[in-house]
């Protein structure tokens, strides 16, 4: 019997991913703290999971499903409350009711806050822009997409006025606090925001604190809703991310099996031949596809050339 020898060659495998995703932020230049996880991947995970979006919807419904309103900070009907205090509280009540009603002119306030909560549960971070009127009082809110927001390092401490209640009386005191800046980049256009409560004037284009900044270029404020105590929040489900990816890949593999209608590919063995250069490259590309789902249940067609002998080509 004629003896045949086969040579098995290992394809070159890369130990790191080659995929790219859009990230236009200048982390070192703008003193931005890099997020611990890929924000794009975290936000898109709900599209791949069979249960995550349902859990997020439940959170959003339980938090905002019953709406929100205004409450007195003290017992309005208690004995001994001065008429002047009641009158001032009633005036404040009316102002706050109007504020909550017209926080956003395009959508209701609970819808806007629902977007923020959804981002917080998907990525660990939700951002809300606060607009002020000519008197410096909050006048409206806008939703900021967590995909396009990054957080800067803490600034030096500044003096801020802190309000608190003591024995039913409103008092104020000065204290030191460190604030952050926030950066939004969309299509290479950059906008800076300052943290809610920061008394300084920030230029929205340069990101510099400048008291001479014109009114149209003054940065608005951002409230950061996050999960955890870090610079960035971390989603509650992060410990299950590998299982979620695995479950998705298993479902895709099962879907392709039934769609393509074939079982495990067969193997055709050719004797006294060798792979052509193009077939070797095709086999290498096939093995380099570590995802595997695109090639599952498919045949791999390879061209084989005969080996030269004294009497010509074999096969």
Per the DSSP assignment, residues forming a β-bridge with 189 are 186
- Closest of 146, 133, 58, 124 to residue 98, by C-alpha: 133
Q: How far apart are CA 27 and CA 312, in angstroms?
A: 65
Sign of CA dihedral 113, 119, 120, 122: positive
Convert the pLDDT of each residue in 35-70 to its tens digit. Answer: 999 999 999 999 888 899 999 999 899 988 887 778
Which tokens sit at 108? 């209701």
Please tell me whether residue 70 adopts helix, strand or coil conformation: coil
Map residue 82 onto helix, strand or coil: coil
296, 264 in Cβ contact below 8 A? no
Query: For the residues of 125-173, what is the DSSP string, one character each?
Result: EEEEEEEE-TTS-EEEEEEE-GGGEEEEPP---EEEEEEEEETTEEEEE
The total of other beta-carbon atoms located within 10 Å of residue 56's CB is 21
Which tokens hold the place of 27? 């982390």
Q: Which residues contact 79 (CB under 8 A, 6 or more apart)?
A: none
Q: Which residues pair with 172 in a beta bridge?
A: 163
Helices and strands (DSSP H and E) totals, the chain: 6, 13
Nearest CA to 192 out of 37, 32, 36 is that of 32
pLDDT at 67: 79
Helix or strand or coil: residue 249? helix
Q: Angle CA(227)–CA(201)–CA(120) in degrees, nearest 5?
A: 15
pLDDT for the residue numbered 7: 40
Per the listing, tokens 């020898």 go with 5
Would you say 241 and 48 are in contact if contact means Cβ atoms under 8 Å apart? no
Contact by Cβ (8 Å): 22, 214: no
Q: What is the pLDDT of residue 296?
A: 58
Query: How confident is the model over 80-96, as pLDDT tens digits?
Result: 888 888 898 899 899 88
CB atoms within 10 A of CB 151: 23
Check residue 238 and give its pLDDT.
93
Q: What is the pLDDT of residue 276?
A: 76
Instruction: State how far the Cα of 172 lies from the Cα of 152, in Å rounded to an integer.
Output: 29
Residues 6+ apart with CB under 8 A from 289: 295
What is the distance between the alpha carbons of residues 60 and 118, in angstroms, rounded to a whole number? 7
Nearest to 124 by CA among 149, 152, 155: 149
* pLDDT tens digits, one per residue of 293-305: 565 556 666 667 7
Mark the ranges of the chain whose per-residue pLDDT is less than 50: 1-20, 290
Cα–Cα distance for residue pair 272/2, rounded to 1 Å? 10
Residues in contact with 216: Cβ distance below 8 Å, sequence separation at least 6, in sequence order: none
């Amino acid at each position: 019997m004629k003896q045949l020898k086969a040579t098995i060659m290992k394809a070159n495998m890369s130990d790191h991913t080659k995929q790219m995703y859009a990230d236009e932020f200048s982390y070192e230049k703008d003193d931005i703290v890099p997020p611990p996880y890929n924000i794009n991947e975290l936000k898109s995970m709900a599209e791949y999971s069979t249960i995550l979006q349902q859990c997020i919807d439940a959170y959003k419904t339980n938090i905002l499903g019953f709406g929100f309103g205004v409450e007195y900070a003290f017992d309005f009907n208690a004995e001994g409350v001065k008429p002047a205090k009641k009158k001032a509280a009633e005036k404040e009540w009316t102002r706050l009711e109007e504020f909550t009603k017209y926080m956003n002119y395009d959508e209701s306030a609970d819808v806007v806050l629902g977007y923020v909560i959804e981002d917080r549960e998907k990525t660990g971070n939700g951002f809300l822009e606060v607009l002020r009127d000519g008197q410096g009082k909050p006048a409206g809110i806008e939703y900021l997409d967590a995909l396009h927001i990054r957080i800067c390092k803490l600034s030096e401490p500044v003096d801020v006025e802190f309000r608190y209640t003591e024995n039913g009386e409103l008092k104020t005191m000065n204290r030191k606090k460190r604030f952050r800046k926030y950066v939004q980049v969309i299509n290479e256009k950059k906008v800076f925001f300052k943290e809610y409560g920061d008394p300084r004037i920030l230029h929205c284009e340069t990101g510099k604190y400048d008291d001479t900044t014109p009114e149209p270029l003054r940065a608005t404020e951002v409230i950061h809703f996050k999960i955890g105590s870090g610079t960035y929040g971390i989603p509650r489900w992060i410990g299950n991310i590998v299982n979620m990816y695995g479950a998705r890949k298993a479902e895709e593999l099962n879907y392709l099996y039934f769609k393509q209608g074939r079982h495990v590919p067969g193997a055709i063995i050719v004797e006294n031949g060798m792979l052509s250069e193009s077939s070797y490259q095709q086999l290498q590309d096939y093995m380099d596809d570590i995802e595997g789902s695109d090639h599952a249940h498919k045949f791999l067609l390879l061209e084989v050339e005969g080996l030269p002998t004294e009497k010509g080509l074999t096969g």
